[in-house]
C-alpha cells in the first residue's frame, strides 16, 4: 500500500475514533470517578424534560451495579433521591459480601443490581417517580417497586395521607375503587380465583404505598405476584380524581400544607449501615410502648444503637409520639398482637385477623415500613399460622426472662454472657429494670465490637432475605 493511501486510511481511522469519543461525551455530560464508582449525569428521555438522570455504575469481582435515579435541580429533593439510591446500593453490596463469606458461595457467581425509574407528572411542580429494583443471582431475578412523589415548588415529599382530609378512611375508599376497577378487566375472574386479591387490597397503607399522581388520575401499582401469580407484569390501576370526592385535597394543582409528621410515613432518619465484617445482635422489646420507652430511646441514641420494638396495638394507639420517636431513631417496629389476650395458635381466623390487622393499623398511623414483622404473644407459633400471617415471624434465641429476673445486673449479665453474632435478644420495655440494663449491655458488648441493629438490618446484612412464613430465632436458626 502506498504512503498516500496509508495516510488516508490513518486519517479515516482517527476520524472514526473521534466520532465515537464525541458521541460518548455528548450522551454523558460528564463522568467522574469516586472511589472506583463511576457517577454519570446526563439527560434522560423526553419524559424527563426539565430533569436529569444520575447513574451509578460499579463492577466488583462478583457483582455488577447499574443504578439510575432522577435529579430535579432542587437540593432537598435531589439529596433524598440520592440517598434512596445509595441505600439500595449499600444494602446490595453488604448482601454480596455476606454471601461471599458463606458456605454457599462459589467463585463463578455473578450478582446483578439494577435500579431504573419512570416519571409521572401531575404538573410542572408535582412529579412522581416510580422505581423498579431488580436483583439477579444464579439466573434468578427478584423485582420490587417503590415510588416517591414530590412538590418541587416547596421541595417537600408527598405521602398518600397528605392528599386526603384528616380522619377520612381513604384507604377503605381506595380498596373499594381499586377492586371495582379490577373487576372491569377481562382477566378479573382469573385474578379473583387465585385468592390473592383480598390480602393485597386490604385497607392498609403498605398495600397502597406505590403510587403516582398523573394529570387527572391517581395511579396505583401492584407488583408481579401480588394480585396474581400468573400475570407476569406490574398491574397499574388508574383512579380518576373525580371518583375520590371532596375528601381528596389536591385541587387545581394545589396541595394542602406540608406537615413535618409526613416524614414519618416516608422513612426514618438515615443511619449508618451495619458493617458485615463486625459482629452484631438485635435487641428486641415486647409489650410496649410504655412510660419507660422514652428513657430506653435516650440510651439507644446516646450509644448510637438501634433496636426492634414488637408493640401491642392498644398501647401503640396511646403512645404514638413515642412510636414516632423510635422510628426517627432508626428502630424497627413490629406487631405483637393487639392486647396479648392469648396464643395465636389457639385463635380462630377472625380473632387472629383482628389481632394482627388492628395492630398493623395502629402502627401504620405513625410508621411506613415495607413490611411489618410479627412476634406472636408468648412466642406461640406453628407453620400453619405462620403461613396464614404471610410475613417473617421473629422469635429469639436469648431470653433474658426479665419478667422474672427483676434485677438490672442479672438481666445485663444474661445478655453479655450469652451474646453471639446474629443473636436475637428478648426483653420487655415495660419494665424499669430492663431499661436500666441497656447501658450496661451496650457498653460491655461495644468493647467486643458488637453493633446493635434492627432484626431486618441484621438478617439482610448477613445475606438472609426475610421471607413470609419463615420463623427466625437468630441468623443461625431459621425454620
Q: What is the pLDDT of residue 271?
A: 57
Is there a single domain that holds both residue 302 and residue 213?
A: no
The CATH number given to whatever domain includes residue 184 is: 3.90.640
* Residues 305 and 405 occupy one common structural domain: yes
Domain range for 462 is 267-472
The pLDDT value given to residue 258: 76
What is the number of domains present in the chain?
3
Say whether 407 is catalytic.
no
Q: Are residues 280 and 422 in the same domain?
A: yes
Q: Cα–Cα distance between 250 and 252 in angstroms, integer?
A: 7
Q: Do 134 and 190 reside in the same domain of the chain?
A: no
In a domain, 291, yes or no: yes
Q: According to the model, what pLDDT value does residue 373 have?
A: 96
Q: Let me know whether 164 and 92 are in one domain.
A: no
Catalytic residue among 78, 80, 151, 286: 286
Last residue of a domain, one of 157, 185, 204: 157
H-helix or E-strand spanning residue 383 = helix 383-389
Residue 253 is predicted with a pLDDT of: 85
So what's the pLDDT on residue 88?
Answer: 85
Residue 420 is among the residues annotated as catalytic for this protein? no
Task: Tell me, yes or no, whether 145 and 36 share the same domain.
Answer: yes
pLDDT, one tens digit for every residue, the chain (479 residues): 444 444 444 434 444 444 333 333 333 333 333 333 344 333 334 456 779 999 999 988 889 999 999 999 999 999 989 988 988 888 788 778 777 776 677 888 888 999 999 999 999 999 999 999 888 887 777 788 889 999 999 998 898 888 998 878 898 899 999 999 999 998 888 888 888 887 788 887 778 889 999 999 999 999 888 888 888 888 999 999 999 999 999 988 888 887 765 555 444 444 567 888 899 999 999 999 999 999 999 999 889 899 999 999 999 999 988 888 888 788 999 999 999 999 999 999 999 999 999 999 898 877 766 679 999 999 999 999 999 999 999 999 999 999 998 899 999 999 999 999 999 999 999 999 999 999 999 999 999 999 999 999 999 888 888 889 999 999 999 99
200 in the same domain as 340: no
Q: Confirm if 458 and 475 have CB atoms less than 8 A apart.
A: yes
**Cα(149)–Cα(147) distance, rounded to whole angstroms?**
7
- Where b means 16+ CB within 10 Å and e means fewer, 352-372 reads beebbbbbbbbbbbbbbbeeb
Query: Cell numbers of 58, please?
Result: 460499579
Q: What is the pTM of this model?
A: 0.56
CA–CA gap between residue 281 and residue 260 (Å, rounded): 32
Which CATH number characterizes residue 334's domain? 3.20.20.370
Amino acid at each position: 500500500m502506498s504512503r498516500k493511501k496509508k495516510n488516508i486510511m490513518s486519517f479515516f481511522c482517527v476520524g472514526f475514533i473521534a466520532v465515537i469519543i464525541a458521541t460518548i461525551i455528548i450522551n454523558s455530560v460528564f463522568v467522574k470517578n469516586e472511589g472506583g464508582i463511576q457517577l454519570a449525569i446526563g439527560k434522560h428521555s423526553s419524559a424527563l424534560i426539565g430533569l436529569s438522570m444520575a447513574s451509578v455504575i460499579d463492577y466488583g469481582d462478583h457483582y455488577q451495579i447499574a443504578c439510575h435515579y432522577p435529579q430535579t435541580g432542587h437540593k432537598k429533593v435531589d439529596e433524598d433521591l440520592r440517598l434512596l439510591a445509595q441505600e439500595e446500593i449499600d444494602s446490595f453490596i453488604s448482601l454480596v459480601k455476606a454471601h461471599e463469606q458463606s458456605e454457599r458461595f462459589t467463585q463463578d457467581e455473578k450478582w446483578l443490581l439494577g435500579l431504573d425509574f419512570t416519571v409521572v407528572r401531575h404538573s410542572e411542580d408535582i412529579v412522581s417517580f416510580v422505581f423498579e429494583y431488580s436483583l439477579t443471582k444464579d439466573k434468578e431475578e427478584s423485582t420490587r417497586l417503590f415510588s416517591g412523589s414530590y412538590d418541587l415548588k416547596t421541595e417537600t415529599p408527598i405521602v398518600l395521607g397528605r392528599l386526603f382530609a384528616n380522619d377520612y378512611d381513604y384507604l377503605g375508599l381506595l380498596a373499594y375503587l381499586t377492586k371495582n376497577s379490577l373487576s372491569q378487566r377481562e382477566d378479573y375472574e382469573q385474578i379473583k380465583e387465585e385468592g390473592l386479591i383480598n390480602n393485597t387490597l386490604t385497607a392498609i397503607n403498605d398495600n397502597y404505598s406505590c403510587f403516582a399522581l398523573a394529570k387527572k388520575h391517581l395511579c396505583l401499582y401492584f407488583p408481579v405476584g401480588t394480585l396474581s401469580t400468573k400475570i407476569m407484569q406490574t398491574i397499574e390501576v388508574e383512579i380518576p380524581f373525580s371518583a375520590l370526592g371532596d375528601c381528596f385535597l389536591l385541587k387545581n394543582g394545589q396541595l394542602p400544607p406540608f406537615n413535618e409528621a409526613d416524614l414519618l410515613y416516608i422513612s426514618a432518619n438515615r443511619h449508618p449501615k451495619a458493617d458485615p465484617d463486625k459482629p452484631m445482635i438485635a435487641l428486641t422489646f415486647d409489650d410496649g410502648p410504655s412510660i419507660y420507652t422514652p428513657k430506653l430511646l435516650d440510651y439507644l441514641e446516646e450509644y448510637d444503637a438501634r433496636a426492634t420494638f414488637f408493640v401491642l396495638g392498644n398501647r401503640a394507639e396511646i403512645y404514638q409520639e413515642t412510636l414516632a420517636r423510635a422510628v426517627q431513631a432508626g428502630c424497627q417496629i413490629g406487631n405483637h398482637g393487639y392486647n396479648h389476650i392469648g396464643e395465636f395458635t389457639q385463635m380462630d381466623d377472625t380473632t387472629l385477623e383482628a389481632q394482627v390487622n388492628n395492630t398493623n393499623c395502629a402502627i401504620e398511623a405513625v410508621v411506613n415500613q415495607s413490611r411489618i414483622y410479627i412476634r406472636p404473644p408468648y412466642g406461640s407459633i406453628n407453620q400453619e399460622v405462620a403461613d396464614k400471617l404471610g410475613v417473617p415471624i421473629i422469635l429469639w434465641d436469648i431470653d433474658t426472662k426479665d419478667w422474672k429476673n427483676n434485677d438490672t445486673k442479672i438481666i445485663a449479665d444474661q445478655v453479655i454472657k450469652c451474646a453471639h453474632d446474629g443473636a436475637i435478644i428478648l426483653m420487655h420495655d415495660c419494665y424499669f429494670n430492663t431499661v436500666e440494663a441497656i447501658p450496661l449491655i451496650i457498653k460491655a458488648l461495644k468493647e467486643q465490637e458488637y453493633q446493635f441493629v434492627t432484626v431486618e438490618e441484621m438478617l439482610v446484612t448477613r445475606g438472609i432475605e426475610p421471607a413470609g412464613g419463615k420463623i427466625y430465632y437468630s441468623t443461625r436458626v431459621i425454620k
